[in-house]
Chain A
């Protein structure tokens, strides 16, 4: 527990840097974690060079999922969509710097699932988007 709520996670949860919505946007997608009802929407604006210029997330969720979203969006500014598609479960765990059990892993991975589903233009955020081979 003590490790789970590292200062960075509490801090990002309380004072997220990327919380909000972008209207208009180039990519927007939202979905939820069916286990707990957490809901996340992610909006992206792209620049002329095909890189992520701005990103924002909205919705509701626990400290883990919200901090994970905030850190994820920070990490993709300036990245191409191909680079975003290549993000993995491990990148999320590296962002958070914690070990997670199977239940809380779902919370942490929800933002990446939603982001990837939006970037791929899918109708639904599925687990297969964040499973490492």
Chain B
């Protein structure tokens, strides 16, 4: 079936050997065609084995015990933090806080920074293309503080309206929080330029890196960003763990988010003093094995190389857009391949995306259908929902060909 998997950039056939799940059949004789990596990526053997290794050999709670296993698990947990911090170019590991996922990372900033720094009338700038996870936390904090939310509009072609952004900056916002790559449009936003503009207006910046960090090299110091949120499970790592990068001075000045064990230095009956960074923001027993798996995921991506991964996905996206664009009745959202990552959301005239996804599933093709946690963005395009195919380092051209074939089957059924 996989006759032609050699990519110019990556040996995809070799990469696929690292992901045994890609060989499974969805039903007898029908092999999985996994085109839902923007929702969650598959995991390579090295990550699965790293997690197994924790539970088979050195499982213990971290930071407390002095016994051998506690020492080993603490070392593994903190070593993962160091490698993940280095992966995004953080100056120090203490600037990397482990969370459950991107959503929790954004909530941490919205609550801990927002409640301490926002007051009635202050402005927070978001965009129309945000995932719900970068909308709802700010709506909640806006409700609690009286801060006002403003939105950078999205153009018909799927770009942020940067002229409108410049105008909004005249409102002297306290925070600009936006996605680095839209999970629906695939649009890669001009983050560095937008961050510099925000800083010129004395605003802080938070970047939602859930879709960017897994797919191309992201360097927080080069970007100059104040906060970066991302999840392990979209970048070959396990679910249940994510990270928040924050500039040290900002994290130092912020009050804790959640209270409990490990985040304290001293506790009295009526008060406490918080622990140092990053532990101040890591209350309770963390996801130790998941953190170790997260570290293994970063090692794996480093071994393959983020540049070849980005090039492979760019070539695949260009190929997919080329193959899909002439299908009658298709509407593809978002910009051209040079301005987007490996995400192609589309609608088919007269066919609900749920029905399209269900019929495709019959041929083993896994795509997502719905509003992809971006209801306001779908409203913007007057669509209740779309179907979305998304790619990663293990995706092949053959799989895109199968998608095209599958879509024609869908259209025949509903013709």
Inter-subunit contact A63/B352 (CB<8 Å): yes
Return chain B residues, CB-CB under 8 Å to A5.
Answer: 355, 358-359, 413
Q: Do B352 and A62 touch across chains, with their CB atoms under 8 A apart?
A: yes
Segment at the A interface, from B308-316, B330-338, B369-377: B369-377
Interface assignment of B31: CB less than 8 Å from any CB of chain A = no
Residue B354 is within 8 A (CB to CB) of chain A in the complex: yes
Question: B370 contacts A62, CB within 8 Å?
Answer: no
Q: Are A10 and B371 neighbours in the complex by a CB distance under 8 Å? A: no
Asked whether any CB of chain A lies closer than 8 Å to the CB of B378, the reply is yes
Q: Is B362 an interface residue (CB 8 A)?
A: yes
User: CB within 8 Å of B: which of A38-64?
Assistant: 38-39, 60-64
Q: Would you call B369 and A36 a contact (CB within 8 A)?
A: yes
A39 touches B384 (CB 8 A): yes
Residues in chain B near residue A39, CB distance under 8 A: 384
A86 contacts the other chain (Cβ, under 8 Å)? Answer: no
Complex interface: chain A residues within 8 A of B384 (CB): 36-39, 60
What does the 1/0 interface line of A1-18 toward B look like (CB < 8 Å)?
Answer: 110110000100110000
Q: Are the C-beta atoms of B355 and A64 separated by less than 8 Å?
A: yes
Q: List 17 A-B residue pairs with CB atoms under 8 Å apart, sorted by A's residue number.
A: A1-B361, A1-B362, A2-B362, A4-B358, A10-B413, A36-B369, A36-B370, A36-B384, A37-B378, A38-B352, A38-B385, A39-B384, A62-B355, A63-B354, A63-B355, A63-B414, A64-B355
- A37-B371, A39-B384 given; name 9 further pairs at CB < 8 Å: A5-B355, A5-B358, A5-B413, A14-B414, A36-B384, A37-B385, A38-B352, A60-B352, A63-B354
A→B interface (CB under 8 Å): 1-2, 4-5, 10, 13-14, 35-39, 60-64, 104, 107
Interface on B for A, CB 8 Å cutoff? Answer: 352-355, 358-359, 361-362, 369-371, 375, 378, 384-385, 413-414
